[in-house]
């Protein structure tokens, strides 16, 4: 996949470009289905599969506050998109000035002239341009005059028997409720956070007998406080683990932390970035009467985590 971060780098329109546009936060199953349709259409017309996204997320620019947390940071989004069959990813720097571009100008100047669009594939609720004036109806009207094809695809639904629409909004809700096992049904993979291992409070190994990697989060969307079965990806391999998200109520220090005890592991990974995949939620975080009681519960958490298939 070719990644374009500056529109000026596109000197020649792509051959029969088949385009889809979106923020693609989470690169979930709905997005993946959209990309498959783009690939099929590109093969049908002998064209180029093109995805257009924006950085930062438009809501970060247009709203001062109240915008939703990212499901995937930009670096992870790029990794996930590179695993699709998209030929070219165009990442447009989103600014206030860019937000003022009309839908008409975006279609004519950028999609048609710059990119060489022959087909556009979008979801049923897609809109773009200043004041979101570029909706499906606008595209269909424009297509008649400019000779490109508009393909509108239906939403994807959760295949776990709940028949709910797969969306970034729904995934955020589920993750924040701690329902990480369900999130996999919508994402097509386990929900993952990334962060650097930093110095902790020297309690895990010394007091409890379970050393932990304390993580400074790189991500914004964090699961609900509690204890989780996880897998950990780091420089020396992939391992099972148990993660605690919360405030360590047994110690009454009221400091939010993300700590992971990596099973069967004895390596120094301080200052390294690791990835934590959330498999299932084991229990709520709670206050124990003493350290021994907490340590015994951690043993049970580990035993339970080992029984959960990853």
pLDDT tens-place string over residues 228-280: 999 999 999 999 999 999 988 777 777 888 999 999 999 999 999 999 999 99
Start-to-end Cα distance in the chain: 29
pLDDT for 130: 85
Q: What mean pLDDT, rounded, does the chain reach?
A: 92
Q: Is residue 243 in some structural domain? A: yes
Q: What's the CATH number where 97 sits?
A: 3.40.50.620
pLDDT for 209: 67
Q: Is 265 helix (H, G, I), strand (E, B) or coil?
A: coil
Q: Is residue 165 in some structural domain? A: no
pLDDT for 95: 93
Range of the domain at 285: 191-306
Task: Report the candidate in 239, 240, 223 with the shortest Cα–Cα distance to residue 283.
Answer: 223
Q: Are residues 130 and 206 in the same domain?
A: no
Share above pLDDT 70 across residues of the chain, in percent, rounded to a whole number = 96
Please state, as a whole number, how many other Cβ atoms lie within 10 Å of the Cβ of residue 112: 19
Q: How many domains does the chain have?
A: 2
Q: Is residue 266 in some structural domain? A: yes
pLDDT for 144: 94
Domain boundary among 131, 153, 175: 153
Question: Which distant-in-sequence residues (6+ apart) come within 8 Å of 310 by Cβ?
Answer: 190, 229, 231, 240, 277, 279
Q: Are residues 121 and 246 in the same domain?
A: no
Q: Is residue 261 in some structural domain? A: yes
Q: Are residues 123 and 43 in the same domain?
A: yes
Q: Are residues 145 and 204 in the same domain?
A: no
Domain boundary among 95, 130, 153: 153
pLDDT tens-place string over residues 143-170: 999 999 999 999 999 876 567 899 999 9
pLDDT for 201: 60
Q: What's the CATH number where 297 sits?
A: 2.40.30.30
pLDDT tens-place string over residues 186-199: 999 999 999 999 98
Q: Are residues 224 and 139 in the same domain?
A: no
Residue 205 has pLDDT above 50, yes or no: no
Q: Is residue 30 in some structural domain? A: yes
Q: How far apart are CA 191 and CA 181, in angstroms?
A: 8
DSSP per position, 180-236: HHHHHHHHSS-EEEEEEEE---S-IIIIIS---EEEEES-S--PPSEEEEEEEEETT
Q: Is 135 helix (H, G, I), strand (E, B) or coil?
A: coil
Per the CB < 8 A criterion, the answer to whether 92 and 10 are in contact is no
pLDDT for 125: 86
Domain boundary among 104, 132, 153: 153
Residue 96 has pLDDT above 70, yes or no: yes
Q: Are residues 130 and 60 in the same domain?
A: yes
Task: Report the candidate in 52, 51, 56, 139 with the shortest Cα–Cα distance to residue 96.
Answer: 56
pLDDT tens-place string over residues 59-76: 888 887 778 899 999 999
Q: Is residue 259 in some structural domain? A: yes
Confidence of residue 35 (pLDDT cuts 50, 70, 90): very high
Quote the pTM value.
0.91
Q: Are residues 84 and 212 in the same domain?
A: no
pLDDT tens-place string over residues 101-149: 999 999 999 999 999 999 999 998 899 888 888 899 999 999 999 999 9
Q: Are residues 113 and 239 in the same domain?
A: no
Q: Name the strands in the sheet holding 48-55, side by side, starting at the edge strand that comes first in the sequence.
A: 2-4, 88-93, 48-55, 17-21, 117-123, 149-153
Q: Are residues 132 and 217 in the same domain?
A: no
pLDDT for 161: 57
Q: Is residue 160 in some structural domain? A: no
pLDDT for 242: 97
Residue 175 has pLDDT above 90, yes or no: yes
pLDDT for 211: 87
Q: Is residue 262 in some structural domain? A: yes
Q: Are residues 211 and 276 in the same domain?
A: yes
Distance of CA 268 to the CA centre of its chain: 28
């Amino acid at each position: 996949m070719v990644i374009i971060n500056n529109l000026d780098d596109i000197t020649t329109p792509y051959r029969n470009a088949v385009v889809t546009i979106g923020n693609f936060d989470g690169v979930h199953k709905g997005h993946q289905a959209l990309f498959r349709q783009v690939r099929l259409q590109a093969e049908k017309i002998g064209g180029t599969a093109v995805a257009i996204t924006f950085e930062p997320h438009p809501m970060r620019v247009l709203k001062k506050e109240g915008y939703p947390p990212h499901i995937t940071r930009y670096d992870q989004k790029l990794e996930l998109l590179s695993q699709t069959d998209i030929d070219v990813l165009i990442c447009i720097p989103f600014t206030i000035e860019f937000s003022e571009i009309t839908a008409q100008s975006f279609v004519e100047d950028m999609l048609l002239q710059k990119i060489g669009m022959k087909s556009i594939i979008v979801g049923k609720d897609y809109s773009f341009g200043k004041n979101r004036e570029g909706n499906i109806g606008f595209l269909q009207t424009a297509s008649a005059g400019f000779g490109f094809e508009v393909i509108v695809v239906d939403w994807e639904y959760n295949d776990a028997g709940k028949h709910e629409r797969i969306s970034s909004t729904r995934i955020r809700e589920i993750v924040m409720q701690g329902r990480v096992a369900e999130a996999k049904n919508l994402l097509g993979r386990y929900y993952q956070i990334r962060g650097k291992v930093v110095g902790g409070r020297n309690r895990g190994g010394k007091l409890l007998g379970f050393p932990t990697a304390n993580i400074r989060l790189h991500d914004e969307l964090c699961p609900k406080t509690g204890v989780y079965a996880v897998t950990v990806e780091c420089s020396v391999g992939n391992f099972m683990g148990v993660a605690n998200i919360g405030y360590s109520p047994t110690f009454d220090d009221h400091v939010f932390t993300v700590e992971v005890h990596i099973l069967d592991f004895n390596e120094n990974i301080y200052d390294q970035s690791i990835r934590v995949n959330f498999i299932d939620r084991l229990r709520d975080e709670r206050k124990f009467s003493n350290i021994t009681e907490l340590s015994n519960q951690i043993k049970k958490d580990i035993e339970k985590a080992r029984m959960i298939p990853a």
